[in-house]
């Protein structure tokens, strides 16, 4: 069958491929230690589920406005205003099928063929593919472990061309876990503001998962000028363990929100109505559940970092956010894909090859799993390294 060039240029997700293979091995009865998960291993907090059940019982089962339930848009705007110092109102918010969908819709609403999007690498797998699907040109900028995997103002300056339309920032980052400091954010904003038509999308889906006293700074807080150039993408999946609910949002200047709304009105329409009531409860209810999960992640993070440090041949910078570490495996002399395939075959440990994120000397380990798995898995990775050094 002749398929559209649009889909032929898109690479299938390597993350999902590894996870699928690991799951198949588990089904065959093998004891697999999986570090490939891109989601919290916790269940959605009970009060959030209750709110969705109540909404379902109250008949919130019909079409709603394509941009989202007015009450949820209000609640998101209020959260961004008070918590993040981003003065949005409901008209600046569009509710989407997760943060992934909000980014996809943004690319579709913003990019013309040939428009360039700067993507600091290592990057989240979907960014370049979304840009390509929207006929844009992804421009990856390789960052280094020594620079904390953060793009420098000089690198940004060099990557900008007359065709550059957008910069993607993701802090805390998937896959590196790194967090930009307020000073680093300000330095980037300065470069952005020197270029008239350049916008920034700030993917803040991991903003709540911070450790060692790190703080989250949205680039939109730098100045009113920068706020006007900022688009925030986020969602409920990571902070509230709601990955399967598919609720996210985009916050942006009203004109852009209206464009995304137009797209949604002809593609998805509104996202699941009663799921949106769960999201309202997530924002308006107690935030203790978020802190409880964060503390669990913090403990696992300490544990996994210690074990990596003790393993000959492995190294990684200390990340301050999300629930991933990007571990350098260069000492083994294998490509990241060969490394992960052999690790899964020989030691029954699932990890995601760095090549999926634009770095072939590393693998991503997710610590959204229990301590026992972390200990067992790292022991096996240690044996694997010993055999390959
Ligand atoms: C998980 C994730 C998202 C969005 O996930 P959704 O489930 O679609 O809300 C966005 N960006 C990054 C970097 C992520 O890891």
Over residues 196-247, the pLDDT tens digits come to: 999 999 999 999 999 999 999 999 999 999 999 999 999 999 999 999 999 9
What whole-number distance in Å separates Cα of residue 28 and Cα of residue 316?
33
Dihedral of CA atoms 97, 102, 107, 108 in degrees, nearest 10, equals 40
How confident is the model at residue 91, as a pLDDT?
98
pLDDT band at 13 (very low <50, low <70, confident <90, very high): confident
How confident is the model at residue 20, as a pLDDT?
84
Q: CB of 205 closer than 6 A to ligand 1?
A: yes
Please state, as a whole number, how many other Cβ atoms lie within 10 Å of the Cβ of residue 295.
Answer: 11
CB contact set of 82 (below 8 Å; sequence gap of 6+): none
How confident is the model at residue 18, as a pLDDT?
78
Ligand 1 atom with least separation from CA of 322 = 15
Kindly give the distance from the C-alpha atom of residue 100 to the centroid of ligand 1, in angstroms, as a whole number.
5
Q: CB of 174 closer than 6 A to ligand 1?
A: yes
45, pLDDT greater than 80: yes
Q: CB of 237 closer than 6 A to ligand 1?
A: yes
10, pLDDT greater than 90: no
Kindly give the distance from the C-alpha atom of residue 203 to the centroid of ligand 1, in angstroms, as a whole number.
8
Q: CB of 124 closer than 6 A to ligand 1?
A: yes
| Residue in the block written with tokens 């916790």 | 42
Percentage of the chain with pLDDT > 90? Answer: 94
Gyration radius from the chain CA atoms: 21
Kindly give the distance from the C-alpha atom of residue 389 to the centroid of ligand 1, in angstroms, as a whole number.
35
Tell which phi-psi region holds residue 166, choosing left (phi > 0), alpha (psi between -120 and 50) or beta. beta
Kindly give the distance from the C-alpha atom of residue 290 to the centroid of ligand 1, in angstroms, as a whole number.
17
Q: What domains sit in the chain, N to C, each tagged with a CATH number?
A: 5-44+288-388 (3.90.1150.10), 60-284 (3.40.640.10)
| Residue in the block written with tokens 């300000």 | 186
pLDDT band at 12 (very low <50, low <70, confident <90, very high): confident
pLDDT (average), residues 328-333: 96
**CA distances in angstroms from 78 to 73, 99, 287, listed in the order given:** 9, 18, 15
Q: CB of 120 closer than 6 A to ligand 1?
A: no
pLDDT (average), residues 35-44: 93
Q: CB of 321 closer than 6 A to ligand 1?
A: no
Q: CB of 326 closer than 6 A to ligand 1?
A: no
What whole-number distance in Å separates Cα of residue 122 and Cα of residue 143?
7
What whole-number distance in Å separates Cα of residue 187 and Cα of residue 132?
28
Q: In what order do the strands lie in the sheet with 352-353?
A: 324-328, 362-366, 352-353
Q: CB of 248 closer than 6 A to ligand 1?
A: yes
Q: CB of 98 closer than 6 A to ligand 1?
A: yes
pLDDT (average), residues 54-77: 98
167, pLDDT greater than 90: yes
Ligand 1 atom with least separation from CA of 203 = 11
351, pLDDT greater than 90: yes
Q: pTM for this one?
A: 0.96
Average pLDDT score, the chain: 96
384, pLDDT greater than 80: yes
pLDDT band at 269 (very low <50, low <70, confident <90, very high): very high
- Mutate which of 120, 237, 268 for ligand 1? The one with the most ligand atoms within 8 Å of its CB, which is 237
Phi and psi torsions of 324, nearest 5°: -130, 155
């Amino acid at each position: 069958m002749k398929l559209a060039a649009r889909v032929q240029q898109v690479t299938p997700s390597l993350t999902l491929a590894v996870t699928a293979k690991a799951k198949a091995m588990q089904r065959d009865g093998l004891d697999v230690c999986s570090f490939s998960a891109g989601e919290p291993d916790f269940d959605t907090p009970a009060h959030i589920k209750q709110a969705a059940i109540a909404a379902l019982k109250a008949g919130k089962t019909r079409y709603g406005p394509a941009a989202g339930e007015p009450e949820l848009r209000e609640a998101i705007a209020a959260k961004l205003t008070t918590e993040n110092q981003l003065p949005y109102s409901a008209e600046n918010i569009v509710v989407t099928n997760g943060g992934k969908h909000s980014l996809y819709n943004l690319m579709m609403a913003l990019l013309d063929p040939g428009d360039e999007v700067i993507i600091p690498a290592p990057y989240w797998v979907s960014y370049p593919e979304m840009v390509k699907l929207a006929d844009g040109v992804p421009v990856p900028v390789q960052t280094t472990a020594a620079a904390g995997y953060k793009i420098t103002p000089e690198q940004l300056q060099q990557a900008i061309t007359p065709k550059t339309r957008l910069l993607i920032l993701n802090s805390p980052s998937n896959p590196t876990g790194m967090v930009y400091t307020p000073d680093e954010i300000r330095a980037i904003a300065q470069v952005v503001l020197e270029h008239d038509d350049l916008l920034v999308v700030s993917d803040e889906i991991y903003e709540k998962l911070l450790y060692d006293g790190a703080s989250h700074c949205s680039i939109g807080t730098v100045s009113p000028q920068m706020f006007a150039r900022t688009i925030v993408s986020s969602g409920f999946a990571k902070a509230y363990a709601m990955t399967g609910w598919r609720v996210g949002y985009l916050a942006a200047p009203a004109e852009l929100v209206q464009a995304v709304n137009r797209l949604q009105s002809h593609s998805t329409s509104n996202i699941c109505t009663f799921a949106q009531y769960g999201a309202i409860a997530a924002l308006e209810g107690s935030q203790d559940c978020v802190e409880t999960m964060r503390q669990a992640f913090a403990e696992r993070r300490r544990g996994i970092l210690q074990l990596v440090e003790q393993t000959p041949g492995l190294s990684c910078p200390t990340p301050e956010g999300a629930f991933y570490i990007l571990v350098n495996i260069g000492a083994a002399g294998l490509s990241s894909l060969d490394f992960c395939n052999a690790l899964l075959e020989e030691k029954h440990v699932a990890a995601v090859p760095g090549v999926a994120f634009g770095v072939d000397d590393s693998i991503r380990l997710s610590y959204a799993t229990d301590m026992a798995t972390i200990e067992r898995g790292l022991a096996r990775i240690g044996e694997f390294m010993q055999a390959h050094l």
